[in-house]
Amino acid sequence: MLVENGVKGDSRVQKEAWSAAEVGWDVVLLGKSPDKKARSWRLGGARVRLLTVPTPLHRRRHEYRRAVLRAPLAYPPGPLAEYRKQRMKAWRAELNLRVIETGRDGSALARTRLLPTRLLSRGMGKWVRLRARQTAALESRRKDMDTPLDRFTTAFWVRAMGERAWRRLDPGLWDLELAYGKVIDRLEPDLIHANDFRMLGVGARAKLRAEAKGRTVKLVWDAHEYLPGIKPWNPHPRWHVAQCAHEREHAKYADAVITVSATLAQMLAEHHGLGRLPEVVLNAPDALVPEDPAADPVPDLRELCGIGPDVPLAVYSGSAAPQRGLDIMIEALPQLPATHAAFIVPRGNSPYMQTLRARAAELGAAERVHILPYVPHDQVVRHLAAADVGVIPIHHWPNHEIALITKFFEYSHARLPLVVSDVRTMGGTVAATGQGEVFTAEDVADYVRAMTAVLADPQRYRDAYDRPGMLTEWTWEAQAAVLDGVYSRLVEGVRAPAGERMAPVTS
């Protein structure tokens, strides 16, 4: 099983690995270490390994070359510009010291002799600063790549190479291949489960290498989102074009595709011309079972926020980014004077979260904003249950319209009333079930209306969860059965009873 993250923040991947191992599959989950240290641990019966991924190809080839025609005065790529600037500062500091020393001696002739050198240093300093500015401007243009020449070269490679264009547009994808590929080959798997679009290529190439050696390997592609419709998380203008080309090249090698919603399944089938409609495996949480007294206690959400049981508390749990719309929860606080807002996010000190914290302070509501860390995936539902409202304020992006996302199911199992934006699938579901209120995305006044309605009568919305079978359909146990069915259709006779797993794999 392959994923391009550190595993611990990815509840879907953790549940997939755990549940597959629980029914007898010998699972090794390969993830990406967040630093230069390899790590490994057990996740139920599955083994997790985080690989180090050097990224020398992250910079594109032209970023290592001088741009003699575009910026003739710029320094070569690398540390030379900063070195020259620092050397000029050191020279000026030395000259200033010499002026001070000659002043103490009272010699006008000595100071006069220093004048040419001081004038030279001043002129050289201006020259170095000019070249440094040229270097910084070139680096900025190379990062933005929005000039007519840049747009032409991007279009040229797409036209000339088609779906293979990612090799020119984002060669950093090879860094993943070079880190994961050799480990996969040593494992000699019967089945590769590639999570999301960047791991699809890694899995497909491993499948082709195995087949060249006479081994049959089945590839399952787990498509978490509709790539053409996402808001790119990398701002480089070539990044999204490259990822789409990479996905198109390798989608044909998947023996089975699974995804997160029926709508997305249909879109993937049409976009890639799949011969079979992808199976749907929802991002649902585990069914609640009696709490294990021996397990680590679930952190008390209200205690972490420092508030009592009667204080209205709205919670958001998940990734934090502008397109997630979290700012509306801050902007509404002056109109919801008793309400606190908790954000359970993976990076509480990210620039975006710092911006939200600063805005809350400007509005005089800093003490009502609480930024908290993730908890283990098996504690999420109980952790969230202490809130009064679960909020999903995402903006209208094509990829946001097509699925019920993980936090939707987690809030539901916590039996929280919901306040969600009017994205198509989620807004339509909430309106149909009556489990919450729908507001117009990015509309603060409408968000306040929805929050006010829910907080006025929360039990009305909680009662929706008593509908027979509603939460049972939204459990990971039901989804794990679908995943096991996909594996079993592709591969026969390779399950290992517990205690007969493969020996740990070494690098």
Q: pLDDT (tens digit, 9 = 90+) per residue, 321-364?
A: 999 999 999 999 999 999 999 999 999 999 999 999 999 999 99
Report the C-alpha gap between 454 and 402 in whole angstroms. Answer: 25
Looking at residue 174, its pLDDT comes to: 95
Looking at residue 499, its pLDDT comes to: 42
Looking at residue 493, its pLDDT comes to: 66
Report the C-alpha gap between 212 and 206 in whole angstroms. Answer: 10
Per-residue pLDDT band for 405 (boundaries 50, 70, 90) equals confident
Name 54's bridge partners.
none
Judge whether residue 500 has pLDDT over 50.
no
Choice between 489 and 8, residue whose per-residue pLDDT is larger: 489
Per-residue pLDDT band for 8 (boundaries 50, 70, 90) equals confident
Which of these ranges, 190-199, 348-357, 393-402, 459-468, has the smallest mean pLDDT? 393-402
* Mean per-residue pLDDT, 368-384: 92
* Mean per-residue pLDDT, 20-26: 95
Report the C-alpha gap between 441 and 305 in whole angstroms. Answer: 27
Looking at residue 414, its pLDDT comes to: 94
Are 145 and 237 spatial neighbours (Cβ–Cβ below 8 Å)? yes
Looking at residue 504, its pLDDT comes to: 44
Q: Where are the beta strands (DSSP E) in 321-475?
A: 340-344, 369-372, 389-392, 418-421, 436-439
Question: Is residue 5 helix, strand or coil?
Answer: coil
Average pLDDT, the chain: 90
Please return the burial class of 396, using the count of CB atoms within 10 Å of its CB with bins 0-12, 13-18 and 19+: middle
* H helix or E strand, kind and range, residue 111: helix 108-144
* H helix or E strand, kind and range, residue 257: strand 256-259
Looking at residue 215, its pLDDT comes to: 96
Report the C-alpha gap between 28 and 328 in whole angstroms. Answer: 41
Share of the chain above pLDDT 70, in %: 93
Judge whether residue 380 has pLDDT over 60.
yes
Tokens found for residue 492: 């026969």
Choice between 507 and 438, residue whose per-residue pLDDT is larger: 438
Which of these ranges, 34-48, 60-74, 193-207, has the smallest mean pLDDT? 60-74
Q: Where are the beta strands (DSSP E) in 120-182?
A: none
* Mean per-residue pLDDT, 366-376: 94
Name 49's bridge partners.
30, 40
Is pTM beyond 0.85? Reply is no
